[in-house]
Structure 1
Amino acid sequence: MQSDQPIADRARRFAVAPMMDWTTRDQRAFARCLTRRALLYTEMVTTGAILHGSPRERFLGYHDSEHPLALQLGGSEPDELAECAAIAEAWGYDEVNLNVGCPSDRVQNNLIGACLMGQPELVARCVAAMQAAVSIPVTVKCRIGIDDQDEDRDLTHFVETVAAAGCRTFIVHARKAWLQGLSPKQNRDVPPLNHPRIHHLKQMFPQLHIGSNGGLKTLDECREQLAHVDSVMVGREAYQNPWLLAGVDHALFGEADEGRTRHDVMRAFRPYLEERLAAGVRLNHITRHVLGLYSGCRGGRAFRRHLSENAHRDGAGIEVVDDALALVEAPSSALAS
């Protein structure tokens, strides 16, 4: 039986949601310069990519600074998920999360994501197989329902069934996923948020760790949710407005406010930038994740524009970032210390 001890509930208190094409290893390393405490997630990685893709470093590689770090898996074959969970543990991941929330047509056709909410017994078998293969936590990220499911009865049945297989942690997106009639983008905005349903779920299952996700934009909103659930997860706002993460450790984990500036964050990120550039990674693949750092600051638009126009050029190096930072009105505008 797996244990939740490697990641305590305190570490789960705030997490950055897994987001395709966004929560890459470069974004996660940047996020870690903003918050030491938040739990970070990979993009969803399918079992097929891990078992048959090459090299595995492409799908599983990360920087040691990213811990605590969870790998989100997409799949529905218990044996394959168990094998991938064991691989994740061997690679040093702190948690494995099963995606039962992604609404895209592509993953539905492969029986991955939100469509699995209609098959709770299969999800239970998947979770049981994964848990039998690893000692790290196995968790589930789901929706409050899909299509015409009843948000009360069917969600309760889903959680009861999967919890009976041993899952102790559920992160619930507070929107239904409409698999017929809405695009993945629309599924992030159109279905109404229903956080009270997640609050009720926690009341029904006080012995489980229940986390809330969906539409949260401020740390005050996160605190409000934490009065009702065990943890919160923030996605798009944490990516598009990364400075939000700089307040997480103080506001939600009770740590001292260090009074850091955005430039301090970029200084902390510099060694990673240089390491990745030396490894042959193109600058724009890294800097696309920092474009929102100076939103609302004088010179923030110039910062974004300079990186957008120059980071993709052949041979672009750290000097492009230094030049962009010089355009921002902030203390100590040079990136180097």
Structure 2
Amino acid sequence: MAIDPALHRLSVAPMLDWTDRHFRYLVRLCSRGVRLYTEMVTDRAILHGNRPRLLDFDPSEHPVALQLGGSDPALLAEAARIGQDWGYDEINLNLGCPSERVQGGGFGACLMKEPDLVAECFAAMREAVQLPVTAKHRLGVDDLEDYGYLARFVEKLASVGVEVFIVHARKAWLQGLSPKENREIPELRYGWVYRLKEDFPHLIFVLNGGVKTLDEAGAHLEHVDGVMLGRAVYEDPFVLEEADRRFFGLEHRPQRLQVAQAMIAYAEARLEEGVPLWSIARHMLNLFKGQRGGKRWRRYLSEHAIRPQAKAQVLWEALEQVTKTPTLRTIASLPKLEKPLQQCS
């Protein structure tokens, strides 16, 4: 069955150490329609590690994709099967991370030099699951920066049934640049991604890299099927404030206080499970970015939520820094956010 391109119209990139289940829950409160991705999880971690810690997510996160890292077809197939059983909507393979640790494991961006192996990996995963299995890759690596090679790479994966390609519109330098520098220094070539869509109109292409606003996303959508935002969302989740109305036809426009209130309720539930408050609060630091009291909010959380025994009351106290309201429970008079839609997957 063909994949509906609308499912990938707007998404939030997988970001190591950032897009954990707590941040994804926050993003879902800001947008019901945007597609979410986990951090990259290696196949071996899933096979041998603490699966609930690695894979658990809240049902409201749907549609949510599991991003895998690995290069062994059999191990990736088993990890994909586990991800399907866990309830994910998509399995994505990381072919773009340039970090030395990832290179040392023989996966990530360095796999772009081995299209035959990558095709074997995808064939094994697609055989193992009924979910969409998608690729996230760069334009090239090191001196291997040639549109012809990129097109052949895409064609190779398409030959084993890959339909969705998330393309970070930069190449990666495997030596000499840090992961951060690899996100900033190599030249962005959006035209190459546009050209892929022209050359392979039957495939789905999602553009990633350097997109900071919904206006920019809308401009790219004139040429490709989808756009993936990354750090812009982490730096201010409310960059998605108008996303549902503009891209998904949903009448949903959250307020920051509503989202804060919902996150406090979420934190209270997770604390009962033994999750430290900072694991959640660290993702909330930018919730009031650019707003009156936003710096006070951030400073208060940074100083108090990081304490080992911190409770959810810290979040209420931080809100006082924003609202200057003596009794924080007065924000309970705000209409609560409706339960996020789950039929978008």
Task: Report if TM-score (shorter chain) is over 0.5.
Answer: yes
Say which SS state the counterpart of residue 91 (structure 2) adopts: strand
CA distance in 2, matches of 1:93, 1:221: 29
User: 1:31 aligns to what?
Assistant: 27
Query: Where in structure 2 are the equivalents of 1:41-80 lying within 5 Å?
Result: 41-53=37-49, 55-80=50-75
User: 2:317 aligns to what?
Assistant: 323
User: 2:211 aligns to what?
Assistant: 216
User: 2:178 aligns to what?
Assistant: 183
Residue 297 (structure 2) pairs with residue 303 (structure 1) = yes
Q: CA deviation at 1:268?
A: 2.5
Contact residue 241 and residue 253 of structure 2 kept, 8 A: no
Q: How big is each residue's C-alpha offset from its partner over 1:36-86, in whole Å with a ceiling of 9 and x where there is no partner?
A: 111100000001101111x21111111111111100000000011000111
Contact residue 263 and residue 330 of structure 1 kept, 8 A: no
The letter of the residue matching 1:62 is F
Residue 16 (structure 2) pairs with residue 20 (structure 1) = yes
Q: CA deviation at 1:280?
A: 1.0
CA distance in 2, matches of 1:69, 1:92: 9
User: 2:236 aligns to what?
Assistant: 241
The letter of the residue matching 1:37 is G
Q: CA deviation at 1:87?
A: 0.5
Contact residue 145 and residue 151 of structure 1 kept, 8 A: yes
Query: Where in structure 2 are the equivalents of 1:86-235 lying within 5 Å?
Result: 86-235=81-230
Q: 1:290 to 1:165 in 2, by over 3 A?
A: same
User: 2:5 aligns to what?
Assistant: 9
Q: CA deviation at 1:333?
A: 5.9
Residue 276 (structure 2) pairs with residue 277 (structure 1) = no
Q: Which runs of 5+ in 2 are unaligned?
A: 334-345
Contact residue 38 and residue 67 of structure 2 kept, 8 A: yes
Contact residue 20 and residue 39 of structure 2 kept, 8 A: yes
Select which of 30, 36, 39 maps to 1:40: 36
Q: CA deviation at 1:248?
A: 1.1
Select which of 254, 259, 263 maps to 1:265: 259
Q: What is the TM-score with the length of structure 1 in the denominator?
A: 0.95
Q: What is the TM-score with the length of structure 2 in the denominator?
A: 0.93
The letter of the residue matching 1:12 is H
Q: 1:9 to 1:283 in 2, by over 3 A?
A: same
CA distance in 1, matches of 2:323, 2:148: 54
Q: CA deviation at 1:316?
A: 1.2
Say which SS state the counterpart of residue 57 (structure 1) adopts: helix
Q: How big is each residue's C-alpha offset from its partner over 1:137-184, in whole Å with a ceiling of 9 and x where there is no partner?
A: 000000011111133111011101111111000000011101121111
Moved more, 269-278 or 41-50: 269-278
The letter of the residue matching 1:129 is A
Contact residue 123 and residue 162 of structure 1 kept, 8 A: yes
CA distance in 2, matches of 1:179, 1:302: 40
Q: How big is each residue's C-alpha offset from its partner over 1:208-234, in whole Å with a ceiling of 9 and x where there is no partner?
A: 001100000000000000000000001
User: 1:251 aligns to what?
Assistant: 246
Compute the RMSD of aligned alpha carbons.
1.5
CA distance in 2, matches of 1:289, 1:193: 28
Say which SS state the counterpart of residue 68 (structure 2) adopts: strand
Q: 1:67 to 1:330 in 2, by over 3 A?
A: farther
Q: CA deviation at 1:10?
A: 1.7
Q: Which runs of 5+ in 1 are unaligned?
A: none
Identity rate of aligned residues, in percent?
A: 51
